[in-house]
Amino acid sequence: MDSTALVTEIRDELMGVVDPDLDMTFEELDAIRNIEVKDGLIRIVLELIQPINMVAEQINDTCVKVLQSIAPDYENEIIFSEKPIDLSDREVLKGVKNIVAVASGKGGVGKSAISSNLAAALAMTGARVGILDGDVYGPSQPTMFNLKDKTLQGVEDNGKIMAYPHENYGVKVASMGMMMSQDQAAIVRGPMLAGYFSTLFEQVEWGVLDFLIFDLPPGTGDIQLTMTQRIPLTGAVVVTTPQEISLADVRRSISMFEKVDVPVLGIVENMSYFVPPDMPDKKYYIFGKEGGKEIAKEKDIPLLGQVPLNVDMRESNDNGKPVVLSETKETEMQREILMEVARNMTKEIRKRIYEQQVSGDVEISI
């Protein structure tokens, strides 16, 4: 078969490959940018809806199977790119593709632990990730990323004072806790608090990121509402525990995001159940059962995952390393569930970005 005929056959077969997040074929998505056959090598260039970091491997494997069935004697190379979006109209965070707020209606549900593990999980896939810890009264991310003794230092850049986030485990971190002591935080209120917070997204040089995880302070008051209005959020993730008292707060969180037209990407039910290490077939529902799942159904919002109560997760956070980065057998289930939460979140982001591009709400850059 000559190369022209082979290219035609490859294109015809690849047109039917389905993007698993969007449930649409390459033909529908106009995903195939180029096919080249030369010197025993088939090179495919794909352009997909971003972010592709958690789906690229699966799509690559599917494409490889197609190519091997057509031309088993050829080597193949699949190059991924993302459909560009124009973020130039943003006033802040122009280099960040996706900004995701992680919120909870009340404290104590593990919002910061979920935030840190989401950020670390995304970074593990090769994505460029930052985490912005906006909790002035209880900043946790410096501890969870083993950066608790670090401070943000201002540097003059073209006449403007800028600061640079610290980095660990491939995640850039900037936190209220790097700007003030707990004694200072206790007396900060209103406009002063807004000023400190503004520094984190106006004067911190985050650079180019695929994701910025915004660990929002717990609650649904004026501070949280103002923060969500000032940052161009892609969407929000709401964290809850299964118990009924938490679910009322989840409803308030969802209502808050609705007021500012921020889509809720999904709900994470944390501390869903406890599995004793010596009885892996047992589940104990200490804080109630499937409350997060029920409210997700009630509000027609995706349930991103149900994360068990786990002592290793607590110890990892306290010791400065998100549990999703652990490689022990004891943490295997927790790692897999948290990676699935990150996977489900990126799926929802891709679906919404596709819908926006189709509707024309997102301008494609040329």
Measured CA to CA, the distance from residue 178 to residue 199 in angstroms comes to: 11
Q: Which tokens go with 148?
A: 């608790």
Q: What average pLDDT does the structure give for the chain?
A: 88
The span from the CA of 156 to the CA of 167, in Å, is 20
**Dihedral pair phi/psi, residue 289, rounded to 5°:** -125, 120
pLDDT at 78: 96
Contact 198, 230 (CB under 8 A): yes
- Intervals of CATH 3.30.300.130 along the chain: 3-82
Would the pLDDT of 185 be above 70?
no
Q: Give start-end residues of each CATH 3.40.50.300 domain in the chain.
A: 96-359
Give phi and psi for 65, each to the nearest 5: -60, -40
pLDDT tens-digit map of 269-296: 999 999 888 888 889 999 888 889 999 9
Q: The domain 3-82: what is its CATH number?
A: 3.30.300.130
CATH class of 96-359: alpha beta
Please tell me the distance from the alpha carbon of residue 351 to that of residue 341, in angstroms, as a whole number: 16
Banded model confidence at residue 364, pLDDT cuts 50, 70, 90: very low
Mean pLDDT along residues 250-275: 92
CA distances from 259 to 84, 214, 219 (A): 29, 18, 15
Confidence of residue 180 (pLDDT cuts 50, 70, 90): low
- Threshold 0.85, pTM exceeds: yes
- pLDDT at residue 351, rounded to an integer: 96
- Average pLDDT rounded to a whole number, residues 249-267: 91
